[in-house]
């Protein structure tokens, strides 16, 4: 079977690496892909957001399955167009992708189905929003509606900060915000596959969103991650499936907008139990890198079962080993990253047993250089998160990337739980 993978990040390199191992695969295309993915896929110069060109390519090349990595093409309706043209796709329709595309949509769905989540209200009017603030106490969370690439959330410690966030987010005509109660607990990422009707759990992870060691500094897309998240015990995972994932899949099916693809739930594990912070309609980046390292067996039939609506036949098994990934970013990230810096030592890093997934890389005169914010995800497995971390940093230390940096403390929560430092 021919597969077309949409995207060019470390998440997509990890998916490509795993798909390439499938005996059922005859050809893997990546659009647009990156130099790392070129080792396992044929990169085609298509813009992920150019829906018509992707649909035409899939049809012309007789692609059996399109796997969509990033959220923007899904929210824009790429899956709808592929389905309309009779092409199988792993990823939700635009109506179902509203789970990520609209925070207000997801909060309303939680409210009417009783899914545990922070108390909230939606506002389009600044005066009404300001008047509601005292009900929530401090800190209070203010979120812009719509895709914001992780930048639309302000956890305000003071009323002044909350009011400034509201003023900023409601400045555009037609803008909407959600004000919500601040939840106390530890965050974890929970993945599930859904085929429109049924859902299965598909692994857990924790990531590090802040740019600096000790979880300080500005938010990023994620500077590292590990899997599994031991804090999501089997009992908690059962509750997440029963109280959050299945009610969501059931509600969307009942609404006539069934959810098919991966559901990535951002959870807060509170004293009262798991609560939903947000949904994403795609795999996490860099969470996909650690999940793919641990997934046993063939990924392709599982994704195909999701796309064909027969997930009931499929099973997913993850290795007992832990996996950890360290993101190497270009200097300046998450601001303007330095472009063009040379990268050497990938083969040396892989010789240590680590696997290097590429994200913002490019070839310049045959040389691998940085070409984005997050550049590499150096990933390894081990019998514990502590062991996986040591192995991942052995890989990092073999890489020569003078204009890049990484955090040195990825996995610290789990390493502490395992008794290390």
List contacts with ligand GLY (CB under 6 A). 207, 221-222, 280, 284-285, 287
CA separation for the pair 14, 11 (Å, rounded): 5
Residue choice 118, 188, 244, 323 for contact with ligand AMP (CB under 6 A): 118
Name beta bridge partners: 325.
Answer: 225, 379
Smallest separation (angstroms) from ligand GLY to the CB of 284: 4
Rounded to an integer, what distance in angstroms lies between the CA atom of residue 116 and that of residue 317? 27
Binding piece for ligand AMP, criterion CB under 6 A, among 123-131, 182-190, 195-203, 323-331: 182-190
Tell me if residue 90 falls in helix, strand or coil: strand
Give the H or E element holding residue 67. strand 65-68
221 binds, among ligand GLY, ligand AMP, none (CB under 5 to 8 A by kind): ligand GLY
User: Residue 285: which of ligand AMP, ligand GLY, none does it interact with, CB under 5 to 8 A by kind?
Assistant: ligand GLY
Distance CA 70, CA 48 (A): 8
Which of ligand AMP, ligand GLY, none does residue 222 bind (CB under 5 to 8 Å by kind)? ligand GLY
Residues 6+ apart with CB under 8 A from 155: 139, 140, 141, 182
Residue 33 binding: pick among ligand AMP, ligand GLY, none (C-beta 5-8 Å cut-off by kind): none
Of 61 and 215, nearer to ligand AMP (C-beta) is 215
Closest CA to 194 of 118, 109, 251: 251
Residues 129-158 that bind ligand AMP (CB under 6 A): 141, 143, 150, 153, 155
Which residues ranging from 327 to 386 are in contact with ligand AMP (CB under 6 A)? none
CA dist 203 to 183, 194, 241, Å? 23, 13, 12
Choices 60-68, 176-184, 351-359, 388-396; region in contact with ligand AMP by CB under 6 A: 176-184
Q: How far apart are CA 187 and CA 318, in angstroms?
A: 21
Per partner kind, with CB cut-offs from 5 to 8 A, the member of ligand GLY, ligand AMP, none near residue 215 is none
Residue 269, CB-side half-sphere exposure with 13 Å CA sphere = 17
User: What is the binding site for ligand AMP (CB under 6 A)?
Assistant: 118, 141, 143, 150, 153, 155, 180, 182-183, 187, 266, 277-278
């Amino acid at each position: 079977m021919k597969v077309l993978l949409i995207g060019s990040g470390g998440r997509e390199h990890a998916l490509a690496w795993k798909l390439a191992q499938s005996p059922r695969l005859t050809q893997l295309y990546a659009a647009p892909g990156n130099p790392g993915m070129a080792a396992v896929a044929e990169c085609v110069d298509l813009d992920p957001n150019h829906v018509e060109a992707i649909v035409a390519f899939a049809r012309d090349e007789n692609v059996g399955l399109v796997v969509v990595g990033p959220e923007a093409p899904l929210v824009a309706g790429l899956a709808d167009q592929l389905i309309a043209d009779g092409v199988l796709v792993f990823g939700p329709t635009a109506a179902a992708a509203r789970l990520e595309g609209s925070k207000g949509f997801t909060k309303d769905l939680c409210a009417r189905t009783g899914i545990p989540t922070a108390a909230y209200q939606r506002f389009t009017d600044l005066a009404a929003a300001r008047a509601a603030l005292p009900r929530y106490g401090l800190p209070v969370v203010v979120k812009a509606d719509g895709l914001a690439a992780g930048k639309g959330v302000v956890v305000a410690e003071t009323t002044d900060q909350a009011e400034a966030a509201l003023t900023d987010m409601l400045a555009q005509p037609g803008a909407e915000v959600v004000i919500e109660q601040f939840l106390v607990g530890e965050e974890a990422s929970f993945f599930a596959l859904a085929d429109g009707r049924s859902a299965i759990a598909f692994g857990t992870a924790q990531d590090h969103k802040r740019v600096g060691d000790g979880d300080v500094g500005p938010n990023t897309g994620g500077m590292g991650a590990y899997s599994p998240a031991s804090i999501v015990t089997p009992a908690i995972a059962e509750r997440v499936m029963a109280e959050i994932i299945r009610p969501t899949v059931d509600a969307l099916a009942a609404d006539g907008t069934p959810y098919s693809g991966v559901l990535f739930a951002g959870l807060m594990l509170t004293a009262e139990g798991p609560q939903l912070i947000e949904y994403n309609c795609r795999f996490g980046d860099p969470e996909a890198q650690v999940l793919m390292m641990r997934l046993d067996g063939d990924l392709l039939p599982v994704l195909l079962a999701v796309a064909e609506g027969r997930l009931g036949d499929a099973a997913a098994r993850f290795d007992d080993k832990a996996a950890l990934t360290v993101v190497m970013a270009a200097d300046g990230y998450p601001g303007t990253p330095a472009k063009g810096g040379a990268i050497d030592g990938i083969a040396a890093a892989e010789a240590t047993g680590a696997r290097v997934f590429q994200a913002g890389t490019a070839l310049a005169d045959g040389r691998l250089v940085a070409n984005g914010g997050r550049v590499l995800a150096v990933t390894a497995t081990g019998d514990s998160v502590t062991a996986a971390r040591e192995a991942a940093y052995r890989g990092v230390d073999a890489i020569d990337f003078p204009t890049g940096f990484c955090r040195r403390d990825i996995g610290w929560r789990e390493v502490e739980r395992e008794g290390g430092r």
